[in-house]
A and B are shown apart, each in its own frame.
Chain A
Amino acid sequence: MVKATIKEPVAETVRTETQARFRDLFTAEWIKLWSLRSTAWTLLLSAVAIFGFNCYSAHSDYVNLEYFSAAARADFSRHAMFDAFTPASCIALMLSIGAIGANVVVSEYGTGLIRTTFVAVPARHGVMAAKLAVVTAVSLSYGLVAVGGSFLATQAILDGKDVGLSISDPGVPERLLASVLMAPLTALVAMAIGVLVRHSFGTLSTFVLAFMLLPLALSERLYATAVLGHLTPYRAWGRIADIEFGSQPYPWTASGAWTVYAVWAVLATILTVVVAQRRDH
């Protein structure tokens, strides 16, 4: 008899709840991200490092320009692009954004907060989608600022000797885009590793080994390692940004490198949502 009286209102409220907006989940995750002090500090410190590395590199080229060979000078736009976003700054970006992306999930799994979160929002895919959206928005904005700012600053330095590039020069936009998109791609991969591993130390070491160190270790000289290397986002970034100097026995296309970006991003997104949905907590 109790059941008969309660069934109606429950069904009613469930219906209105389905209309509950995704925006609420997004805002909730936004509050969570920024209420951790480490988020702002990590972004600030890595921005300083990134600007520092790039401006230092641009300044070195500016000072040493007269010692460049004639061939190198003729091809200086590649060096100017190298200065705009150096491999060192790319590594700094991957490390900081990776730490933030991983922390968004690991901080919840590590403390058990994820249980509170999933009881508050039983539609787990909604929670994970909101996390993905917040992390993507923040990392994309950060990538725009870090890469865009570095480009403007470094090219202004090089313009002192009239060798700076403009954003409208051929090839510049897509090469910058590869650097900008490295930020959200890194964040998505770090989140997926976080959902799989769940422990903070394990997540960070897996991320650093697989995402950052492995691409550096795979040689271009052997066919097998070259192909494996080309499957990593870091090497794809180098390919699109066109900063791989030295000999390339196994060349590959930029569209191939873009495909690597896309596949990693899609796989990471799917993994994050599906694994969290299925697992017992």
Chain B
Amino acid sequence: MVLVIEVKQLTKRYGDTVAVDELTFTVLPGRVTGFLGPNGAGKTTTLNMLVGLSAPTRGTAIIGGLPFTAHPRGLRYVGTLLDAHAVHGGRTAYDHLAALARSNRIGKARVCQVLAEVGLADVAQRRVQTYSLGMKQRLGIAAALLGDPPVLLFDEPLNGLDPEGVKWVRGLFQGLAAEGRTVFVSSHLMSEMEHIATDLIVVGRGRLIAAETLAQFAARGGTLSSVSVRTPNPGALAGALSEAGARVAQHADGLLSVEGMSASDIGDLAFAKLIPVHELSPRLASLEEAFMRMTSDSIEYRAGVLW
């Protein structure tokens, strides 16, 4: 069974606040799709609407041609990890999963199987309140895997995982996608998605910013590259570059970063104006920077400037 996630004109309002604004995108099976955006961009709200936990103000969120709530039991269609803390601390991991499995008519053998798969078999009889965040993430992933579902949704699954855990999750997600499943993973860190996702959905302030493959996104990052220029006369060079149509930012140490002009053009211009240049280095923007730049207009919570 192969299921596509289709989100169309999805909108969610809380009073005057628009949490999700006319969001439209498709998530395909057989690949890991990253759902990226700064905190407060509406990722969790979108995932909530996908699984029927909250009702859209407008628009539709459909999985496999049906709204998720059309299924009386969900685990065999969509596995979710929405919040690793959403477990009762007084229960053992085994009991937590056993109750969940039973509600969907899934046997105890499968509970033991997923516990082993996420590496919690030895601590399954321990109460969850003794778990670290990383262990709770693993328990949440185990719960998502219970029904062997064709669609998996993970909200910030890497929080609290150690590097070994991150590596494991990466392999797991890619393996699930290779089996033909639809894997949709949210994160606010591009660096996390860089090695996990093949497709990206980027949102900011509830709006779609980009929906493309990681490769396309990376290429877009390339066009955003800048050139660092060091010169004893930054004022004059900055003026000349601006006049020529480049965007110039001057750093405190006199270093200029120039956008919209190639390194060779900058060198030629400096030579023509007889301004000495001591350093001229093109910098390819990282994916993280491309992401930051694209979402910078849409950041909900920004640290204040203290000086």
Q: Which residues of A contact B (CB under 8 A)?
A: 2-3, 5-7, 9-10, 13-14, 17-18, 20-21, 24-25, 27-29, 31-32, 35-38, 107-108, 111-113, 115-123, 126-127, 280-281
Q: Which residue of A lies closest to B4 (CB)?
A: A2
Is there contact, CB below 8 Å, between A9 and B99?
Answer: no
Is there contact, CB below 8 Å, between B92 and A35?
Answer: yes
Determine the distance from Cα of A14 to Cα of B91 in the docked complex, in whole angstroms. 31
Checking A18, A25, A112, A118 against B83 with a beta-carbon cut-off of 8 angstroms, the contacting residue is: A112
Q: Which residue of A lies closest to B84 (CB)?
A: A112
Checking B3, B71, B91, B102 against A27 with a beta-carbon cut-off of 8 angstroms, the contacting residue is: B102
Is there contact, CB below 8 Å, between B86 and A10?
Answer: no
12 A–B contact pairs at CB < 8 A?
Answer: A6-B4, A10-B1, A13-B76, A14-B70, A24-B105, A35-B96, A116-B100, A120-B74, A120-B75, A120-B104, A123-B72, A123-B73
Q: Which residue of B lies closest to A18 (CB)?
A: B72
Checking A24, A107, A108, A115 against B103 with a beta-carbon cut-off of 8 angstroms, the contacting residue is: A24
Cβ contacts under 8 Å, B78 to chain A: 119
Which of B46-54, B219-227, B235-243, B261-269 is found at the contact surface with chain A? B46-54
Is there contact, CB below 8 Å, between A115 and B53?
Answer: yes
CB distance from B287 to the nearest CB of A (A): 29
Checking A6, A37, A126 against B72 with a beta-carbon cut-off of 8 angstroms, the contacting residue is: A126
Is there contact, CB below 8 Å, between B73 and A121?
Answer: yes
Determine the distance from Cα of A9 to Cα of B2 in the docked complex, in whole angstroms. 10
Is there contact, CB below 8 Å, between B53 and A118?
Answer: yes
Cβ contacts under 8 Å, A18 to chain B: 72
Q: A17-B71, A28-B102 are in contact. Are A9 and B1 (CB under 8 A)?
A: yes
Is B85 an interface residue, CB under 8 A from the partner? yes
Is there contact, CB below 8 Å, between B104 and A116?
Answer: no
Is there contact, CB below 8 Å, between A36 and B88?
Answer: yes
Is there contact, CB below 8 Å, between A17 and B72?
Answer: yes
Cβ contacts under 8 Å, A127 to chain B: 103
Interface string of B18-60 (1 = CB under 8 A from A): 0000000000010000000000000000001001111100000
Checking B65, B69, B85, B102 against A10 with a beta-carbon cut-off of 8 angstroms, the contacting residue is: B65
Is there contact, CB below 8 Å, between A116 and B86?
Answer: yes
CB distance from A167 to the nearest CB of B (A): 38
Cβ contacts under 8 Å, A37 to chain B: 90
Is B173 an interface residue, CB under 8 A from the partner? no
The residue in A27, A115, A120 that gathers the most chain B C-beta atoms within 10 A of its C-beta is A120
Cβ contacts under 8 Å, A119 to chain B: 51-53, 74, 78, 80, 82
Is there contact, CB below 8 Å, between B74 and A281?
Answer: no
Checking B48, B72, B89, B95 against A31 with a beta-carbon cut-off of 8 angstroms, the contacting residue is: B95
Is there contact, CB below 8 Å, between A3 and B87?
Answer: no
Determine the distance from Cα of A31 to Cα of B55 in the docked complex, in whole angstroms. 30
Is B143 an interface residue, CB under 8 A from the partner? yes
Q: A24-B103, A32-B99 are in contact. Are A6 and B65 (CB under 8 A)?
A: yes
Cβ contacts under 8 Å, B65 to chain A: 3, 6-7, 10
Checking B51, B80, B83, B95 against A35 with a beta-carbon cut-off of 8 angstroms, the contacting residue is: B95
4 tightest Cβ-Cβ pairs between the two chains A and B:
A112-B86, A280-B54, A28-B103, A35-B95
Is there contact, CB below 8 Å, between B88 and A107?
Answer: yes
CB distance from B53 to the nearest CB of A (A): 5
Is B68 an interface residue, CB under 8 A from the partner? yes
Is B66 an interface residue, CB under 8 A from the partner? yes
Is there contact, CB below 8 Å, between B64 and A6?
Answer: yes
Determine the distance from Cα of A36 to Cα of B85 in the docked complex, in whole angstroms. 17
Cβ contacts under 8 Å, A123 to chain B: 72-73
CB distance from A54 to the nearest CB of B (A): 31
Is B201 an interface residue, CB under 8 A from the partner? no
Is B98 an interface residue, CB under 8 A from the partner? yes
Is there contact, CB below 8 Å, between A38 and B86?
Answer: no
Determine the distance from Cα of A37 to Cα of B102 in the docked complex, in whole angstroms. 20
Q: Which residue of B lies closest to A19 (CB)?
A: B72
Checking A36, A112, A115, A120 against B100 with a beta-carbon cut-off of 8 angstroms, the contacting residue is: A120
Is there contact, CB below 8 Å, between B1 and A6?
Answer: yes
Cβ contacts under 8 Å, A113 to chain B: 86-88
Determine the distance from Cα of A9 to Cα of B77 in the docked complex, in whole angstroms. 12
Is there contact, CB below 8 Å, between B3 and A120?
Answer: no
Determine the distance from Cα of A35 to Cα of B29 in the docked complex, in whole angstroms. 37
Is there contact, CB below 8 Å, between B95 and A120?
Answer: no
Is there contact, CB below 8 Å, between B100 and A111?
Answer: no
Is there contact, CB below 8 Å, between A116 and B82?
Answer: yes
Is there contact, CB below 8 Å, between B99 and A31?
Answer: yes
Is there contact, CB below 8 Å, between B53 and A280?
Answer: yes
Cβ contacts under 8 Å, A14 to chain B: 66, 70-72
CB distance from B121 to the nearest CB of A (A): 18
Determine the distance from Cα of A118 to Cα of B86 in the docked complex, in whole angstroms. 12
Determine the distance from Cα of A7 to Cα of B53 in the docked complex, in whole angstroms. 24
Cβ contacts under 8 Å, B48 to chain A: 115, 280-281
Interface string of B87-131 (1 = CB under 8 A from A): 111111001101110111100000000000000000000000000
Cβ contacts under 8 Å, B52 to chain A: 118-119, 122
Is there contact, CB below 8 Å, between A36 and B143?
Answer: no
Is there contact, CB below 8 Å, between B1 and A35?
Answer: no
